[in-house]
């Protein structure tokens, strides 16, 4: 796990927890975004966010704010591709062999991040089980 130091990552991936903390202006997430040239959002994260929005009471407001964020020129959506699927399979098998499984969506997010060569920003300690993943895990 890497921490932001002298040089912050220029290509970051936000997972669901990081985006949620960004929405409440968590200073470390805001700093990571401000220092990045590109902010990636995996489609899996978008699915988790939309599910959470629809389960809540402010779905329309949350969807509008997310749409505005996604429209920013520095934000890009990461699709699931055959390469991402291959990396997912490698991670899934390695975690299972090690006896340290994590939620399936987290593996997809990690695979997207590895494929993009980007740095994951998260508050989810499950990602710490993936050694190949360049990441910063913040404490809430």
- Residue-wise pLDDT for 35-68, tens only, equals 999 999 999 999 999 999 999 999 999 999 999 9
Strands (E), 23-139: 38-42, 75-78, 119-122, 135-137
Residue 40 neighbours by CB distance under 10 Å: 21
Residues β-bridged to residue 11: 38
Query: Cα(14)–Cα(41) distance, rounded to whole angstroms?
Result: 6
pLDDT under 70: residue ranges of the chain? 1-6
The answer to whether the pTM exceeds 0.85 is: yes
Q: Which domains does the chain have, with CATH numbers?
A: 11-137 (3.40.50.1010)
Q: Regarding beta strands 119-122 and 75-78, do their DSSP bridges make them parallel or antiparallel, or are they unpaired?
A: unpaired
């Amino acid at each position: 796990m890497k921490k932001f130091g002298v040089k912050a990552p220029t290509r970051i991936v936000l997972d669901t927890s990081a985006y949620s903390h960004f929405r409440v202006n968590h200073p470390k997430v805001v700093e990571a975004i401000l220092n990045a040239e590109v902010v990636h959002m995996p489609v899996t994260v978008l699915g988790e966010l939309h599910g959470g929005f629809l389960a809540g009471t402010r779905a329309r407001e949350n969807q509008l704010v997310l749409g505005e964020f996604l429209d920013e020129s520095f934000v890009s959506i990461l699709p699931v591709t055959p390469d991402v699927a291959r990396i997912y399979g490698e991670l899934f098998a390695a975690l299972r062999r090690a006896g340290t499984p994590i939620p399936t969506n987290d593996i997809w997010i990690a695979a997207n991040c590895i494929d993009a060569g980007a740095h994951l920003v998260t508050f989810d300690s499950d990602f710490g089980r993936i050694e190949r993943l360049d990441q910063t895990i913040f404490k809430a």
